[in-house]
Amino acid sequence: MIEEILPPGTVAVDTVGEFPPELLFAQERAVVRDAVEERRREFATARVCAHRALAALGRPAEPLLPGRRGEPLWPAGTVGSLTHCEGYRGVVMAPAAHWRALGIDAEPHTPLPPGVAEAVTSPAERERLRELARGHPGTHWDRLLFSAKEAVFKAWSPLTHREPSFTDAVLEPDPARRTFTARLQLTGPLHDGSPLTAFTGRWTVRDGLILTAVTLAARPHRPSPALP
């Protein structure tokens, strides 16, 4: 499903079902041994999706353990992102030689709970949400904006090892193209010689879900100048 909004050269695996923890490596099972049942199920299913994505990249499956902040530690030479919500689990992976960062998110296509939109948006974004709701009432734009920011931050955090706040990115969705631009309000890392100031992404609404994705291509190779 989510592969529809991802570019060639990436591998996506997703499911609306569940995979049992018995399919995990022992080290992975140990991570959620004491977790509640729902957490064990979502962890197991997302990890099995990741194992299958690794296989599609021609890589052997290996334990995918969480880092200090709970983020998945992708195997050397790869980048990836995962997401899970009620009824959906998804993973995208790609070679690090071609892609510097990936971020995906899935959310139910429902309005945000009361008060959440005000906490994750700027006044200008809230005005834009009102415009979008008037012009395109079939989409829950507040939830889409929330999901797009989640996808952006999943791509951003591995590059900076920092946790941004929701107001550190200003979102501008394009309803006609089903794309969005996220303009960063904080100093980013260098990318291709210049500070990274924005991400672009794509979104879709399907089967009661909002899916969002951002990708950042690796810095293009430039040959060294010829010696005189």
CATH of the domain at 180: 3.90.470.20
Per-chain mean pLDDT for the chain: 89
Say if 40 falls within a structural domain: yes
Tokens (6 digits) for 79: 């980048």
Q: Do both 79 and 175 map to the same domain?
A: no
Say if 226 falls within a structural domain: no
Does 195 score more than 90 pLDDT?
Answer: no
Q: Do both 128 and 89 map to the same domain?
A: no
Dihedral, 191, 196, 198, 203 alpha carbons, nearest 10: 40
Dihedral, 87, 14, 155, 122 alpha carbons, nearest 10: -30
- pLDDT for position 190: 67
- Give tens-digit pLDDT for 66-92: 988 888 999 999 999 999 998 899 999
Does 38 score more than 70 pLDDT?
Answer: yes
Domain that holds residue 53: 2-104
Q: Do both 175 and 212 map to the same domain?
A: yes
Say if 223 falls within a structural domain: no
Distance, C-alpha 143 to centroid of its chain: 15
Choosing from 104, 127, 152, the residue where a domain stops is: 104
Burial (CB count within 10 angstroms: exposed 0-12, middle 13-18, buried 19+), residue 20: exposed
